[in-house]
Structure 1
Amino acid sequence: MDTQVFSAQQNEGVIEKLREPLLWLIPMLLCGIGIVMIASSSSGAAIDVYGSPYALGAKQVVWLFIALGAMVCGYAIPIGFWYRTSGLLWILALVLALLTLFTPFGATVGGARRWFRLGSLPIQTSELLAFTLVIHVAKKITGEGQERSEAFRRCMGVVLLTLPLVLLQPDMGGTLLLLVLAMGLFVEAWGWLYPLCTGALSLLAVAPLILFKEYRMRRILALVDPWSDPLNTGFQVIQGLIAFANGNLWGLGVGHGLQKLQYLPAAHTDFIFAAIGEELGLFGTLFVLFLFFLWIWRAWSVYILFPRGFERSLLWGMVLSIVLPLLINVGGVTKVIPLTGIPLPFVSYGGSALVMAWMRTGIILRLARESRS
């Protein structure tokens, strides 16, 4: 009997060692797919701007090395550090967002003031706000010696101080993402009652901000009937659907996509999933989704090892910070929900989002390590 128990434990240890690398190997594979697709889908525009068809792909490789450094930092830092400094980190992110909005350090691109420029390095402050919000709310939720209602009020105070800074950029998609992220943390801690009530009230509050802003209403109308205005409000949605149709089952092949010829705006950023569908086909998109599903399963298997507390809520929040953008991006590109401009994690072009995604991966790896100790 003892021999059987030892054998079972030994087998379980082997399985654990085999599954552990999935938490970083899968994101690495997704990044590899992303770099290839970024280089392919941006080649025409990159030649015009940079003189090389592979310029943006090469830039993403540089960002990946920086992001891997962030992962190492996230893994090396003890979880207790995040607990002790959560409030300070959140305040620093708020200050950075304020500097972006109201000082010359902020950069306006496409009518939105979302980037803080540290020399030539652009930092998207909403990414830092999302990261620090998760850590601080996870701490507030799991604080000892407080009633649930008191913890909820404190958490909502953190959320309500954070959201306006993203809304003023303006970034409605980022604002809703932060709100849903906070509600997801509430669900993990307290069930569905608080999040449903808060979500309903929040929707009533933001409805006028959508109804009375023409460009936001155009996104809603493009979701309902993009073909009513195919050259304007519905153009991007229709071109994304055409990309999927062009790809069929196996795709046109890497580098042979047609939508990158200025037909599909943001093909290497927000619409990279459509570019994958065109060049790698239905099986290519399903493979990407399968990789995400496998990663989520592995993260879940770590999550269930923790008792209720800060580590469990932090892990939930870090995973949710990657899963929600995945759902929002794929839903927008496939015409399930309105477009929001949220990038596809690990795959879309962009430095800040990639660095923060890998920082979260490092923290998740650290939590996976501590779950075995």
Structure 2
Amino acid sequence: MPYQRNRANRSEKYRIQAPHSDVVLSPPDTTLMVVVAFLVVIGLMAIFSAGAPKSMEAGQNPASFALKQFAYLIVGLFGLKYFIKLDYKKLKDWAVPFAWFVIAMLVLVDFTPLGVVVNGARRWIMLGPIQFQPSEMTKLAVIMLLSNAFYRDGNLFSSTKIMRYFVPILIMVFLVYKQPNLSMVILLLLTSMVMYLSVSGSIKYMLATAGAAITMMAGTFMLFGKKLLHGYQMQRIQIWLNPNIDPYGAGYNIIQSLLAFAAGGFWGVGYGNSKQKLAWLPEGHTDFIFAVIAEELGFLGCFFVIGLFWTFIHRGIIISSRANDMFGKLMAVGITLSIGLQAFINMSVSSSLIPATGVPLPFISYGGTSLIVSLCMVGILLNISKKRIKRIKNYDRGY
């Protein structure tokens, strides 16, 4: 008993005379940084290879697309570095203002002469030599709003939440749909659904809700598909079912993409040796860049790229599970699923698993807005991955 009493007194002595300690952050997730670095480098190489014929045809430097993408990369890296250092909890206060900023940009696209029509879709703003796509920013805006709405609880029916968070989301979805950009709308809805299901907790409830949502979407499409979809969107579905009904028109891209996959085989024809990019695959440096990778690097190259995206998703889920707070957990889930879903949608389109969507391949497809936004999102994810660690200094035992 005297011994136990002395131990208790000594423990109390340690507690009272506990030394000062500070809180430090562990480094960002190294694996995630390496994966993103590989994807960005592969993207620059693929853009140089796939874009060279188009640049030379226009009388430009063969590396013009790659050089422009490199310039966008520099801007994106500044954004990534900024968001790594920023305390991600500040994004709670930025969510609503940023959403209304994105809405203002979408209004400029849809209703002013600043909006530029490309391939039948009004999605870009042209400011002199600078062209950017505001709909790419809706991904981050929606993730920030939903993380803010759900980080305390998963109640969807609070009037305050509906007005503050969900009204801006509905406005953004409507403006994006009007462009038209149905693929982005679907991506936003899928990301939103996964984020909500991650809050609900119950696996049975998640599966039941997901099944009901998919059934509802399928039923709505079957009943009202012709009214909800634009003519070119219905045509994409028909071409997906049978591209040979218009082999030199609407079905041309997907047929040439499949030929690129076939030509690549297991080993590929070698970097820079793609024939499809020369004149047969018009969007080889953007939407169908994965087909060029498949032709030049073969099955092994495709497997490597797919493996990188799977690793990205895996690390993102781990970061989410280890996050220090619910807001960080939700932000990590949203960012991971948004980039991951977009990647597999693009690769599925290139291999004709789903209808053409116009969604770029993150970090790889040519496009400044997509690359910059994706790198900023990765910066937030890396920020969340930094664990808070207490470091004790000047420890004095007291005797």
Change in Cα spacing, 1:95 to 1:193, as seen in structure 2 (3 Å) is farther
1:300 shift after superposition: 2.1
2:180 matches 1:150: no
- Which consecutive segments of 4 or more residues in structure 1 shift more than 6 A? none
Q: Which has the higher contact order (CA 8 A, sep 6+)?
A: 2
Cα shift readout 1:217-271 (whole Å, capped 9, x = no counterpart): 2211122122233222321111111001101111111111000112012011111
Q: Give the conservation status (yes or no) of the 8 Å contact 2:69–2:367.
A: yes
Could you tell me whether the CA contact under 8 Å between 1:74 and 1:362 is conserved in 2? yes
Within 5 Å, give how 1:126-275 maps onto structure 2.
Answer: 126-143=135-152, 147-150=155-158, 156-190=166-200, 191-198=206-213, 200-202=215-217, 208=224, 210=226, 213-275=230-292
How far, CA to CA, are the matches of 2:211 and 2:150 in structure 1?
Answer: 17
8 Å contact kept, 1:93–1:128 = yes
**Per-residue deviation at 1:213?**
3.0
Report deviation, 1:194: 4.7
Say yes or no: does 1:69 pair with 2:56: no
What SS is found at the alignment partner of 1:344? coil
CA distance in 1, matches of 2:175, 2:221: 14
Shift of 1:116: 2.1
TM-score (norm 1): 0.88
Q: Following TM superposition, by how much is the alpha carbon of 1:195 offset from its aligned partner in structure 2, in angstroms?
A: 4.9
Please give the per-residue CA displacement for 1:151-198, whole angstroms capped at 9, x wherever unaligned: 885665443222110011111111111111111211211234555545
Hey, what does 2:297 align to over in structure 1? 280
C-alpha spacing 1:182/1:246, structure 2 compared with 1 (3 Å): same
CA contact (8 A) 2:287 2:365 kept: yes
Letter paired with 2:271 = V
Structure whose CA Rg is larger: 2
Q: Quote the residue 2:100 is aligned against.
A: 91
- 1:34: which partner in 2? 43
**Using a 3 Å threshold, how does the CA distance of structure 1 residues 231 and 270 change in structure 2: closer, same or farther?**
same
Question: Does the alignment pair 1:345 with 2:362?
Answer: yes
Deviations 1:267-322 (A, max 9, x none): 11111111000001110110111111222222222221136611100110011111
The AA in structure 1 aligned to 2:333 is: W
Q: Say which of 19, 39, 49 aligns to 2:58.
A: 49
Closer, same or farther: CA 297–38 of 1 in aligned 2, 3 Å: same
**In structure 1, C-alpha distance between the alignment counterparts of 2:215 and 2:157, rounded to whole Å:** 18
**Counterpart code for 2:125:** F
Q: 1:288 to 1:247 in 2, by over 3 A?
A: same
TM-score by length of 2: 0.83
Give the structure 1 partner of residue 22 of structure 2. none
In structure 2, C-alpha distance between the alignment counterparts of 1:28 and 1:174, rounded to whole Å: 25
In structure 2, list runs of 5 or more residues that go unmatched: 1-25, 201-205, 391-399
**8 Å contact kept, 1:210–1:216:** no
Report the Cα distance in structure 1 between the residues aligned to 2:226 and 2:322, rounded to whole angstroms: 41
CA distance in 2, matches of 1:70, 1:306: 22
User: Hey, what does 2:20 align to over in structure 1?
Assistant: none
Q: Deviations over 1:10-56 (max 9, x none)?
A: xxxxxx97x92221221111111111111111211101224221111
Determine the structure 1 residue equivalent to 2:67.
Answer: 58
The number of equivalent residue pairs is 356
Residue ranges of structure 1 left out of the alignment (5+ in a row): 1-15
Could you list the per-position Cα deviations for residues 98-145 of structure 1 after superposition, in whole angstroms to 9, with x for gaps in the alignment?
A: 11111222222222111123443222111111111110111112235x
Please report how far the alpha carbon of residue 62 of structure 1 lies from its aligned counterpart in structure 2 after TM superposition: 1.0
**Counterpart amino acid of 1:68?**
L
Sort the Cα spacing of 1:276 and 1:351 in 2 relative to 1 into closer, same or farther, 3 A. Answer: same
Q: CA RMSD in A?
A: 2.3
Identity %: 29
| 8 Å CA contact 1:159, 1:179 repeated in 2 | no
Residue 78 of structure 1 is matched in structure 2 by 87
Q: Quick check: 77-86 or 352-361, which moved more?
A: 77-86
Check conservation: 2:268, 2:294, Cα contact below 8 A: yes
Query: How far is the alpha carbon of 1:201 from its aligned partner?
Result: 4.3
- Give me the whole-angstrom Cα distance separating, in 2, the residues matched to 1:371 and 1:234: 53
Q: Partners of 1:159 and 1:196 in 2: how far apart?
A: 23
Query: Is 1:291 aligned to residue 308 of structure 2?
Result: yes
Distance in 2 of aligned mates of 1:351 and 1:112: 18
